[in-house]
Amino acid sequence: MDTLDIALPQMAVLYGLCLAPWLLLWLIGLRLSRDIVISILRMGVQLALVGFYLKTLFSLNEPWLNALWILVMLAVADLSILQRAGLKLRFFVLPTFIAIALSTLFATFYLVVLVIQPPHFYDARYIVPLAGMILGNCLQGNVIALERFYSTLRKNEQEYMTFLLLGATRWEAVRPYYRVAVKAAVSPSIASMSTMGLVSLPGMMTGQILGGSEPWVAVKYQIAIMICIFTSTTLACVINLKLSLRNAFNAYDVLKDEVMELRK
């Protein structure tokens, strides 16, 4: 059974749905019209371009082209994480890229090569969307981890310095904030897994069912992707925070003032 297409007139009707939240926001005094219009237009243009590109990507199915697209996704995610976490690129861009690349690629290839086992491990039909789903959730977790760790450390800097004066190493002094940050990052994934199927029908499962897959096949894919998302997010946050410590402190183990962006 093929999924029903949405014609252009119906897409126009769909965009009309945005008028409801826009009106509510306007009535409560939030003037977000410009932001809403820009975000909706950007979403449409970006997804349209991605749709054309993915159609070409799936048709050609060249390993180097698939790898290039995943590299682009990793680079964009890297920049987005640091921007949203309020951290300076020059201090964290390389550690963050290494962390999300290692964790995302590990989880993706584990799922594709050992679990799904398609004829070609580089098959764009599997590797691109799965890597995108894993990376997207990994991005959210790393934003939370980095922002929580460095903002909490800055807020409790006197306590941190006290640990150092009492003889603690840098790692021993930051470990309490490290644990809090990692817990905050992985908690959404844990909560999502514990309520999945009861509170909501997950996106990947819904998409596969709409695409004509048997419900039980969709269930198995959803379980697989959630385990990979949890694994990738945990690995990325742990590695990212650990690697970032090298660039965030000076020779005296004091957190550098310039590592965080000034919030307006």
Express each pLDDT in 119-178 by its tens digit: 888 888 889 889 999 999 999 999 999 999 999 999 999 999 999 999 999 999 999 999
- Cα(181)–Cα(237) distance, integer angstroms: 9
Task: Give the residue carrying structure tokens 């964790």.
Answer: 103
Express each pLDDT in 101-128 by its tens digit: 999 999 999 999 999 998 888 888 889 8
Q: Is the pLDDT of residue 3 over 90?
A: no
Q: Is the pLDDT of residue 77 over 50?
A: yes
Nearest to 237 by CA among 161, 163, 110, 143: 143
pLDDT (0 to 100) of residue 239:
95
| Per-domain boundaries in the chain | 1-60, 61-259
Element (H, E) at 81: helix 63-85
Task: Give the residue carrying structure tokens 């996106």.
Answer: 203
- Cα(171)–Cα(116) distance, integer angstroms: 39
129 token code pair: 């969307």
Q: From the CA atom positions of the chain, what is the Rg in Å? A: 21
Give per-residue burial for 10-31: e unless 16+ CB within 10 Å, then b: eeeeeeeeeeeebeeeeeeeee
- Cα(218)–Cα(197) distance, integer angstroms: 12
Residues 148, 152, 153, 157, Cα dihedral to 10°: 170
Nearest to 163 by CA among 181, 178, 148: 178
Nearest to 124 by CA among 173, 74, 64, 77: 64
